[in-house]
Amino acid sequence: MKSLNRREFNKNLLKGIGAVTAVSASMTGSKTAAAKSRKRPNIVFICSDQHAYKYAGFMGHDLVKTPNLDRIARNGVVFTNNYSGNPVCVPGRSAMMTGMYASDCHSYCNSTVWDGSHPTWSKRLQDAGYYCRAAGKLDLNEDFDMGFVHVETSNGHYSNPDITSLFRRPCVYRINERDQINGGSRDSRHKDESTARNAVNFIRNETKELKKPWVCYTGFLQPHPGFTALKKYYDMYYPNRVDTPNVPPDYLENLHIVYQELRNFKRIATPIADEKMRKARAGYYGMITELDEYVGQIWDALAASGQLENTIFIYTSDHGEALGEHGMWLKNNLFDVAARVPLVIAGAGIPKGVTVDTPVGHVDLVAAILEWAGADKPDNLRGRSLAPLMFNKPEQGPQFAFSETHSEGNCTGSFMVRKGDWKYIYFSFYDDLLFNVREDPYELNNLANAPEAQEIKKELYGILTSLLDPDKVTLEAFEVQGRKLKEIADPRTEDELTEYLTSRLGEGQARLVAKKIKQGKMV
């Protein structure tokens, strides 16, 4: 690892921000204003949707092309083991935007949005004097102040909850999940092009008028399914440069029972033809390459504006995509393909060409953002700033990563702790999993019952239970989801509820579920 000490970091950061400080001081005529602006970089924060950690050139993937992200990675720091706080949109973003665990915010699934009990980092930065602007997907709660000036933002699950996450005891199945495992091409650009243009215009034109440090949050929708890529990018992969998932013979026979249930929920337990999987993967790869183009446009606009040296540029994703690995598709599980996501940081004072392998999480990124911005950092924040890791100071940075899931298709609560090479997954009331990710990167060899692994398993379980009571959180999740279901069901007649549920459950299942709910047998 290339190292840079803290003194050098601050020197570089001040060098990059010095011009902004001087301009601010001259405009206000105040030394106090200059002091407040010092060491306070602008921040570009880009969040994509469903980009799994390994599908990028800078992560060593030999098929997926990401030339712009690769270029940005060479100019900054890559965190190779970064984890989403929860591998599904709403709770994942609750953790990413607050620095708290999703369950701290009572956000368990795509039906239970962030509850406002912990402020977003953007609100903390706004309170510290930043101008915070957002465009694109947020997926938070419009009832509370997020700290942003909103420009064409979306919070889809706030108004349209994923109601299948409210049926986890017993699990229903989601009628249309299997339909998403289709790939193909399109002639028109993705909506993300407009979102990127929005950010570029802000950087080029509006930031010049600001007399304070700013945040530009951009929420892209790719590579979320359907897996339909711009034709020129789809053709880069299909049919000649696309692979199939790595699922060894007899592996599914021994898949953990919780994940067998998840496969049934998604209607993917029935084998999927190799050609169909190849087309879906090609679509996913092509969407990533189109997304990469838009990320590059924002980076280039920042550089052209002359603000790169006083701006921290962040790229990450809310959660990953199983893409057929472990016999699963989409998200909702704690294998690395779903829970581990890219994280690249470059710009003001950030060392170049550094790779950090220490496991971290989005909550640690939030702690770093608050530190860089000089904003208040509460004592109960779950994260620990990942900044020291960039300067080869591992003892000062995060010591482990945490994730959890209580989302649709999960018949119980699931919790993950990753420390060093070891990864532990705890399921409330079920057997657990333990992997050595360095020796077993595909997570195929469960060592939870191996005699030689009992000490590390005990250590990781101890970390988990020092953070929260997992079984208590599991039961709280069911309770909150039960209240949400009651809130949806009570005002509707049985027929109205059947109609409401049909798009996700199918008519037959919806009618039977609605009848049980109205009889008081499911809420």
Q: What is the pLDDT of residue 521?
A: 79
**267-309 residue pLDDT tens:** 999 999 999 999 999 999 999 999 999 999 999 999 999 999 9
Rounded to the nearest angstrom, the gap between the alpha carbon of residue 367 and the centroid of all alpha carbons in its chain is: 16
The per-residue pLDDT for 169 is 85
Residue 523 has pLDDT above 60, yes or no: no
Sheet holding 414-419, edge to edge: 401-405, 414-419, 422-427, 433-436
Please state whether the predicted TM-score (pTM) of the whole model is above 0.85: yes
Whether pLDDT at 37 is above 90? no
Dist. CA 224–CA 241, nearest whole Å? 20
Across 402-430, average pLDDT:
98
Tens digit of each residue's pLDDT (9 = 90 or more) over 181-230? 999 999 999 999 999 999 999 999 999 899 999 999 999 999 999 999 99
Q: Give residue 231's identity as a one-letter amino acid code.
A: K
**In the chain, which residues fall in CATH 3.40.720.10?**
6-475
Chain-wide mean pLDDT for the chain? 93
Which residues are registered as beta bridge partners of 154?
A: 137
**Secondary structure percentages of the chain, helix, strand, coil, to 5:** 45, 15, 40
Is residue 74 helix, strand or coil?
A: helix
CATH 3.40.720.10 fits 6-475, yes or no: yes
Q: Quote the CA–CA distance of 523 and 107 in Å, as a whole number.
A: 19
Residue 26: what pLDDT? Answer: 28
Residue % of the chain over a pLDDT of 70: 92
In angstroms, the Cα distances linking 291 to 56, 193, 199, 202, 308 are 11, 8, 14, 19, 21
Confidence bin at 1 (pLDDT 50/70/90): very low
Reported as a single tens digit per residue, the pLDDT across 155-187 is: 999 999 999 999 998 899 999 999 999 999 999
pLDDT band at 31 (very low <50, low <70, confident <90, very high): very low
What is the predicted pLDDT for the residue at 39?
67
pLDDT-derived band of residue 28, with 50, 70 and 90 as boundaries? very low
